[in-house]
């Protein structure tokens, strides 16, 4: 576990250096091993003390963000992810933050200073990080309403959140095989055409 954590730190540093140089190598890239396949299920404990299982979010668009407090880009993008969560959560979107540190002291301190509205889970054993092939921080996974991985992003550079939102909008607008998210997520009596992000009927 310590070796894996050390590996993540070194890789995160490399991603940060590449982003700082503005290199042409795509730090924001899809991982073929995951894209198009069912997202690996997991259950982890949240900072609230409650367990959260990925399978229970089926039917929603899910973003999973693997992060650590020793990762500067992770801290930089956290408030921006919170804005995305607040903007799209009423349209069937769930954002899950997964901290990969075995010692949660730093995580608790950071979240007390930068609180977020989405659930934060702890993967101190790095079991889930390994399931998702995480090889650097941050690592962001977008899952569609049918539970399939659609996009995987490695690293963070200012402006990446715009790409996140573009892809998020695409997934939120997609109909599930067994229903219409633009009608299923509305409050009773609300015309579908007035829902934020839903097409006019």
CATH of the domain at 32: 3.40.30.10
Residue 152 domain-assigned (yes or no): yes
Q: Is the dihedral of CA 131, 134, 137, 140 positive or negative?
A: negative
| Whole-structure pTM value | 0.76
What is the per-residue pLDDT for 198?
A: 55
Residue 200 domain-assigned (yes or no): no
From 28, 27, 52, 50, select the one nearest 42 (Cα to Cα): 52
Residue 195 domain-assigned (yes or no): no
Residue 181 domain-assigned (yes or no): no
Q: How confident is the model at residue 28 (pLDDT cuts 50, 70, 90)?
A: very low
- 61-67 and 139-143 beta bridge pairing: antiparallel
- What's the structural domain count of the chain? 1
CA distance 51 to 9: 27
Domain that holds residue 101: 2-176
Residue 154 domain-assigned (yes or no): yes
What is the per-residue pLDDT for 19?
A: 40
Q: pLDDT (tens digit, 9 = 90+) per residue, 144-170?
A: 999 999 999 999 989 999 999 999 999
């Amino acid at each position: 576990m310590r070796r894996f954590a050390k590996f993540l730190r070194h890789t995160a540093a490399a991603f940060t250096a590449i982003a700082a140089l503005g290199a042409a190598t795509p730090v924001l890239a899809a991982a073929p091993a995951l894209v198009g396949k069912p997202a690996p299920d997991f259950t982890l404990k949240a900072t609230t003390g409650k367990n959260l299982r990925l399978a229970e979010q089926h039917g929603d668009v899910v973003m999973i963000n693997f992060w650590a407090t020793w990762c500067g880009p992770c801290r930089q993008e956290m408030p921006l992810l919170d804005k995305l969560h607040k903007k799209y959560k009423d349209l069937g979107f769930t954002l899950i933050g997964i901290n990969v540190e075995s010692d949660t002291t730093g995580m608790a301190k950071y979240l007390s200073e930068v609180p977020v509205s989405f659930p934060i889970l702890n993967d101190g054993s790095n079991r889930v990080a390994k399931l998702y092939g995480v090889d650097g921080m941050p690592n962001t996974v977008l899952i569609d309403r049918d539970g399939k991985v659609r996009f995987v992003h490695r690293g963070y550079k200012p402006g990446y959140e715009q790409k996140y939102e573009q892809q998020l909008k695409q997934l939120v607008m997609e109909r599930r095989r067994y229903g219409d998210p633009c009608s299923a997520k509305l409050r009773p009596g609300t015309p579908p055409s007035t829902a934020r992000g839903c097409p006019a009927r």
